[in-house]
Amino acid sequence: MESMTRKRFLNLLLGGGVLGCLGSVIYPVLRYLLPPEQVEAEPDTLKAGTMKDFPIGASKIFKFGRQPVIVIRDVKGVFHALTATCTHLDCIVQYSKEADLIWCACHNGKYDLSGKNISGPPPRPLQAFTVSVKGEDVLVVRTA
């Protein structure tokens, strides 16, 4: 009678251990495979800084939601905002003040300031954003 109780106790202990192991594997896999119920809201407007932060020929890269965006004040003083991820292999682009264009150092890809791919391997243009200046604030607005 006592050995049956001990055997049952050991079976319960073993079964609980197996269930615990399975749960510790299955739960993270399910969390990875199933999307979260609440989708993270993407902001539509980003304050990139103030006019003082953007002298002529300056550029800065920001996170806009999950996307890096490059904000440029070109040599003529005009603002541009574009995705900063190269359309070739996702390197981060930079503004070349000397050439007044956007350059990807990875494979020498070039874009004009409207985001159009003009030379090198990039297959598509960069996505453009709207820049508005309100008072001293430089705002980047997602258009579509």
User: For residue 94, which of 83, 103, 82, 81 has the smallest C-alpha distance?
Assistant: 103
Neighbour-count burial of 138, counting CB atoms closer than 10 A to its CB (0-12 exposed, 13-18 middle, 19+ buried):
buried
The span of 11-19, 22-30, 41-49, 87-95 binding ligand FES (CB under 6 A) equals 87-95
Nearest-approach distance from CB 122 to ligand FES, in angstroms? 5
By beta-carbon proximity to ligand FES, the closer residue of 106 and 141 is: 106
Q: Does 61 bind ligand FES (CB under 6 A)?
A: no
Whether the CB-CB separation of 119 and 110 falls below 8 Å is answered with: yes
Considering only residues 89 through 128, tell me which ones interact with ligand FES, judged by CB under 6 A: 89, 91, 104, 106-107, 109, 120-122
Nearest-approach distance from CB 50 to ligand FES, in angstroms? 30
Nearest-approach distance from CB 94 to ligand FES, in angstroms? 11
Cα 96-98-103 angle, rounded to 5 deg: 25
Measured over the CA atoms of residue 120, residue 125, residue 129 and residue 131, the dihedral's sign is positive
* Contacts to ligand FES by CB under 6 A: 86, 88-89, 91, 104, 106-107, 109, 120-122
